[in-house]
């Protein structure tokens, strides 16, 4: 590398030699960036083998619980959110819609998962398992293609589902294909805590995004329905019912989002007659969507 630096900075070298060295430096930088990507973690199976589809977005900050719960006026006047009133004695269970990939688990195509990533995750205590799943692709002879996937569970997953099921009706809603998602959920939900499961065919296409999770498919009353998803665009039709969570990967063995962040918030929401005002005050998702080019007309009639 010292020789490369010397050659690249030698003002007396012929122009052609300088161009060669600069080209070489660019290639070395490119390969170094690839190496860093491997060290940081391999892209999840959701983006590698098209089991689930979510548009890229800038993750929102970690969920915070401000001390003040003073109501904030909605910027978009076309949406009415009733004031939340606590009355636990006569409330039905809160419906919590949970995403799968990068929310509850992260999955990687086994053949492309570096052993170093698996080893570090295992040494850090992440639970994982291997999974065989049927791909939508066909082999040459017409037989279904079997893919092998390594799945890492988000820390606290089973305790989260157990505690949450005590005060909420759990619904799984994933943009993943059933051939992949069903056997995976069968493993992480052996106790059948999910009352319903919805896969990619249940998602909707909109002018702005594909594979949107329309909550009207689950309920016509949005007062006590919450969706938790690492991709906010999944709930663009009902933005004040959504909780954007931090995406999970195998490189985050100390992640505490499920038990320390999401569970307390969901417990608080379960005690409200209408969850939407609190969720708006926490996240201001309507403004977030407008900043990303999605106007209120895209969701006002569904929220």
Residue percentage of the chain with pLDDT more than 70: 67
pLDDT digits (tens, 9 = 90+) for 133-165: 877 666 657 777 888 999 999 999 999 999 999
**pLDDT at residue 23, rounded to an integer:** 59
Residue 196's closest CA among 166, 179, 214, 174? 174
Q: Is residue 256 annotated as part of the catalytic site, yes or no?
A: no
Residue percentage of the chain with pLDDT more than 90: 61
**What's the DSSP call for residue 260?**
I
Residue 160's closest CA among 267, 244, 272, 235? 267
Instruction: Give the C-alpha separation, 101 to 103, whole Å.
Output: 5
Q: Is residue 186 annotated as part of the catalytic site, yes or no?
A: no
Q: Is the dihedral of CA 261, 266, 267, 268 positive or negative?
A: positive
Please report how the helices 2-9 and 15-40 are oriented relative to each other, as an axis angle in degrees rounded to 10: 140
Rounded to the nearest 5°, which phi and psi values hold at 237?
-75, -25
- Indicate if the pLDDT at residue 40 is higher than 60: no
Residue 230's closest CA among 264, 195, 255? 255
Instruction: Name the CATH code of domain 45-302 (choices 1.20.1250.30, 3.30.450.60, 2.40.10.10, 3.40.50.1000).
Output: 3.40.50.1000
pLDDT confidence band for 3 (50 / 70 / 90): very low
Please give the average per-residue pLDDT across 43-53, as a whole number.
45
**pLDDT at residue 48, rounded to an integer:** 41
**pLDDT at residue 158, rounded to an integer:** 98
5 or 32, which is more confident?
32
Instruction: Give the C-alpha separation, 275 to 265, whole Å.
Output: 11
Instruction: Give the C-alpha separation, 150 to 173, whole Å.
Output: 21
Please give the average per-residue pLDDT across 80-93, as a whole number.
59
Instruction: Give the C-alpha separation, 146 to 197, whole Å.
Output: 22
**pLDDT at residue 292, rounded to an integer:** 93
Contact 263, 94 (CB under 8 A): no
Question: Domain extents for the chain?
Answer: 2-40, 45-302
Please give the average per-residue pLDDT across 51-70, as a whole number.
39
pLDDT digits (tens, 9 = 90+) for 254-299: 999 999 999 999 999 999 999 999 999 999 999 999 999 999 888 7
- Indicate if the pLDDT at residue 118 is higher than 50: yes
Instruction: Report residue 59 as tokens.
Output: 């993750």
pLDDT digits (tens, 9 = 90+) for 176-226: 999 999 999 999 999 999 999 999 999 999 999 999 999 999 998 999 999
Q: What is the mean pLDDT of the chain?
A: 79
Residue tagged active-site, from 101, 169, 189, 274: 101
Residue tagged active-site, from 10, 87, 89, 99: 99
pLDDT confidence band for 17 (50 / 70 / 90): low
């Amino acid at each position: 590398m010292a020789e490369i630096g010397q050659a690249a900075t030698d003002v007396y070298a012929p122009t052609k030699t300088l161009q060669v060295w600069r080209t070489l430096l660019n290639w070395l930088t490119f390969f170094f960036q690839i190496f860093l990507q491997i060290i940081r973690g391999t892209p999840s199976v959701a983006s590698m083998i098209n089991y689930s589809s979510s548009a890229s977005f800038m993750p929102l900050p970690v969920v915070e619980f401000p001390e003040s719960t003073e109501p904030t006026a909605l910027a978009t006047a076309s949406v009415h959110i009733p004031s939340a009133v606590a009355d636990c004695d006569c409330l039905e269970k809160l419906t919590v819609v949970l995403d799968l990939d990068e929310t509850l688990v992260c999955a990687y195509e086994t053949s492309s998962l570096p052993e170093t990533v698996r080893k570090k995750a295992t040494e850090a205590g992440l639970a994982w398992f291997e999974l065989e799943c049927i791909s939508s692709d066909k082999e040459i002879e017409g037989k279904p293609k079997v893919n092998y996937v390594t799945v890492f569970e988000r820390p606290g997953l089973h305790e989260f589902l157990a505690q949450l099921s005590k005060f909420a009706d759990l619904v799984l809603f994933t943009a993943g294909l059933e051939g992949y998602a069903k056997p995976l959920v069968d493993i992480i939900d052996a106790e059948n805590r999910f009352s319903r499961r919805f896969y990619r065919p249940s998602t909707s296409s909109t002018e702005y995004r594909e594979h949107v999770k329309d909550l009207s498919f689950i309920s016509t009353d949005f007062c006590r329905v919450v969706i938790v998803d690492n991709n906010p665009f999944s709930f663009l039709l009902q933005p004040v019912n959504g909780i954007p969570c931090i995406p999970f990967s195998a490189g985050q063995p100390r992640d505490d989002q499920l038990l320390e962040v999401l569970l307390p918030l969901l417990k608080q929401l379960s005690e409200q007659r209408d969850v939407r005002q609190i969720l708006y005050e926490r996240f201001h998702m309507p403004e977030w969507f407008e900043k990303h080019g999605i106007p209120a007309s895209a969701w006002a009639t569904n929220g």
